[in-house]
């Protein structure tokens, strides 16, 4: 696997290194030892899979507070999505900045999302399926979210989100107290 630092502190873009022949290819999508050697979280408690039927479906911007703050490893298995992360750690050099990347069945690229980052995506094709591993189990009381269109952050989506859950439409605009930003200090 190839680990490339993303423009945000502690985030990585991860590419598989396929070995192919006339049958197709073989590649590692995850290796505990390689993740540990790269200084990344190597234990995952949960694996999630989502299918979004319509192009323009938005999921996000979500994160969890400690003690269940999550690292996520996100990959698109079918279709394509534009994946966005936003650094909410007040002591980070990239606090308040966002990064987006296309993940697709064609590029097989993965995004490593550190703890203390909000995460979301919009689907670029119909029937897009995302697969993501998370380091901690979901804790309902620790869930938080940001509006995908919060002017505080100015996330530029490549297409307008059209299918949005009621919950994701109703997250409040950025409020350091509600979003418990101080609880994200020191996370990686």
The residues annotated with a catalytic role in the active site are 62, 132
The Cα–Cα gap between 124 and 161 comes to 10
The Cα–Cα gap between 119 and 83 comes to 8
Kindly provide the b/e burial profile for residues 98-128, where b requires at least 16 CB atoms within 10 angstroms of the residue's own CB.
bbbbebbeeebbbbbbbbbbbbbbbbbbeeb
Side-chain-side CA neighbours of residue 171 (13 Å): 22
Element (H, E) at 169: helix 166-169
What sign does the dihedral 137-142-148-153 (CA atoms) show?
negative
């Amino acid at each position: 696997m190839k680990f490339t630092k993303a423009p945000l502190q502690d985030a990585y873009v991860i590419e598989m290194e396929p070995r192919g022949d006339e049958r197709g290819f073989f590649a590692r999508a995850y290796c505990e030892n390689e993740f540990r050697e790269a200084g990344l979280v190597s234990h995952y408690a949960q694996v999630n899979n989502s299918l979004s039927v319509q192009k323009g479906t938005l999921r996000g911007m979500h994160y969890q507070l400690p003690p269940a703050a999550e690292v996520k490893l996100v990959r698109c298995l079918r279709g394509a999505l534009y994946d966005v992360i936003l650094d909410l750690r007040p002591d980070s050099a990239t606090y308040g900045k966002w990064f987006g990347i296309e993940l697709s069945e064609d590029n097989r690229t993965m995004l490593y999302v550190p703890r203390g980052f909000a995460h979301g995506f919009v689907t670029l094709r119909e029937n897009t399926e995302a697969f993501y591993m998370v380091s901690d189990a979901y804790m309902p009381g620790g869930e938080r979210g940001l509006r995908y269109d919060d002017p505080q952050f100015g996330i530029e989506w490549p297409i307008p989100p059209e299918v949005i859950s009621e919950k994701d439409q109703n997250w409040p605009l950025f409020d350091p107290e509600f979003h418990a930003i101080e609880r994200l200090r020191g996370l990686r």
